[in-house]
Amino acid sequence: MKINKKNAQIIFAAIQNWKSSGLVDDSLSQRLVRDIEVMTFDWKKFTKYSFWVSLCCIITAVAAILADKALMEFLSVIFNAPHIIKFFALLIISIVIYWLGISRRLKFPEKEFSNEAILLLGVLVTGGVVYQFGKMLDTDSEHFSLLLLLSFGIYGLIGFFSKSNLIWLFALLSLGSWLGTETGYASGWGAYYLGMNYPLRFVLFGVILVMTAFVFEKKYNFGRLFKTTLAVGLLYLFISLWMMSIFGNYGDIKSWSSIKQIELFHWAFLFGLVAAGAIFHGLKFGNGMTKGFGITFLFINLYTRYFEYFWNMTHKAIFFCILGISFWVIGSKSEKIWNIHFKQQNADLDE
């Protein structure tokens, strides 16, 4: 069995623990150890990063072509073609890419990253299809948020039926973009929509996505979309709450600068309460994602409040001492929890 060094250390420690507890004898423990082959290089991560770099390079190459006047003049015949021709050309290309990616995944399911990279190219071309469709129907109304809703529909259907979380991720990002632009259009591009500024709208959007994720978890056909939906929902929720804790429900700098930060403490308290709730959920139900988001943004909240309330009145040396001591305390508490857990494991094995 080939595994990376980190996992091998855990397994070796477990085998040694079993051997010390008498659960396995010397012969069996040696056979288990010999069966493990430690990979000195994590080829899986290297493969993933390689495809990411490759796709970034392709996108950069396209941007460089668009920025090059000489090449643009050479390609002017293509770029100056009617929108309907460019629409159908890109549509055919996207269909071919999706067909290639999905059929290749069915034939070679082990080639996970290259298959997803091909689908990502399809996503990018689909963006061009939607853009050209919008140009075909352009009425100068500036109601382009409908194109983002169309993108959500296309990506959502393709992501669901192709069982691709990557495409589903783009669907959710398109839906979030649609919410921002649609509410902006409906409010005449003002600061408020139904009395809510942009961060507050996305707090509600994040809550809806998180609730939807937990509904997906209980549905067999949607279960594979659970983690992606939950991650995007938590990201929208916590980033928006963080912004609300700083700016409140104010839509312009002038109004915000005329108040004291302590007047926004209720938003900071709500931010901390939601983070604590996420940590509690993660610990109770063994959900590493909600726990990780909760811990991360709880500390972001605490240190943001420190900068707001105490930075100007505290000597910088004292600040960094407090920062260092706080992380030392966190590390000590974590070490203590780990030791308790480790001792409990040994006690269970001895029984």
pLDDT of amino acid 135 = 76
Is residue 325 domain-resident? no
**Domain limit, last residue, from 138, 158, 190:** 190
Is residue 36 domain-resident? yes
Q: Are residues 210 and 303 in the same domain?
A: yes
Is residue 351 domain-resident? no
Q: Are residues 203 and 303 in the same domain?
A: yes
Q: Are residues 139 and 173 in the same domain?
A: yes
Q: Are residues 175 and 231 in the same domain?
A: no
Q: Are residues 33 and 117 in the same domain?
A: no
**Domain limit, last residue, from 158, 190, 222:** 190
Q: Are residues 243 and 283 in the same domain?
A: yes
- Domain range for 90 is 81-190
| Other C-beta atoms lying within 10 Å of the C-beta of residue 280 | 13
pLDDT of amino acid 349 = 41
Question: Model confidence over 289-348: pLDDT tens digits?
Answer: 899 899 889 888 887 887 776 666 666 677 667 767 776 776 676 666 656 555 554 444
Q: Are residues 221 and 157 in the same domain?
A: no
**Domain limit, last residue, from 190, 218, 234:** 190
- Residues 152, 136: Cα–Cα separation, whole Å: 19
- Residues 6, 84: Cα–Cα separation, whole Å: 54
Q: Are residues 85 and 183 in the same domain?
A: yes
8-state DSSP, 68: -
- Residues 139, 135: Cα–Cα separation, whole Å: 9
Question: Residue 314 CA to chain centroid, in angstroms?
Answer: 35
- Residues 18, 27: Cα–Cα separation, whole Å: 13
Is residue 335 domain-resident? no
Instruction: Say which residues have a Cβ less than 8 Å from residue 225's Cβ, sequence separation at least 6.
Output: 159, 160, 165, 168, 213, 216
Q: Are residues 95 and 153 in the same domain?
A: yes
pLDDT of amino acid 256 = 75
Instruction: Say which residues have a Cβ less than 8 Å from residue 149's Cβ, sequence separation at least 6.
Output: 174, 175, 178, 182
Q: Are residues 181 and 128 in the same domain?
A: yes
- Provide the terminal-to-terminal Cα distance of the chain, rounded to the nearest Å: 30
The alpha carbon torsion through 296, 297, 301, 306 (nearest 10 deg) reads: 20
Is residue 324 domain-resident? no
Question: Model confidence over 177-217: pLDDT tens digits?
Answer: 889 888 888 887 777 888 888 889 999 999 999 999 999 88
Is residue 63 domain-resident? no
pLDDT of amino acid 339 = 62
Q: Structural domain tally of the chain?
A: 3
Q: Are residues 233 and 174 in the same domain?
A: no
pLDDT of amino acid 130 = 85
Is residue 254 domain-resident? yes
Q: Are residues 214 and 166 in the same domain?
A: no
Is residue 48 domain-resident? no
Q: Which residues of the chain have pLDDT under 50?
A: 345-351
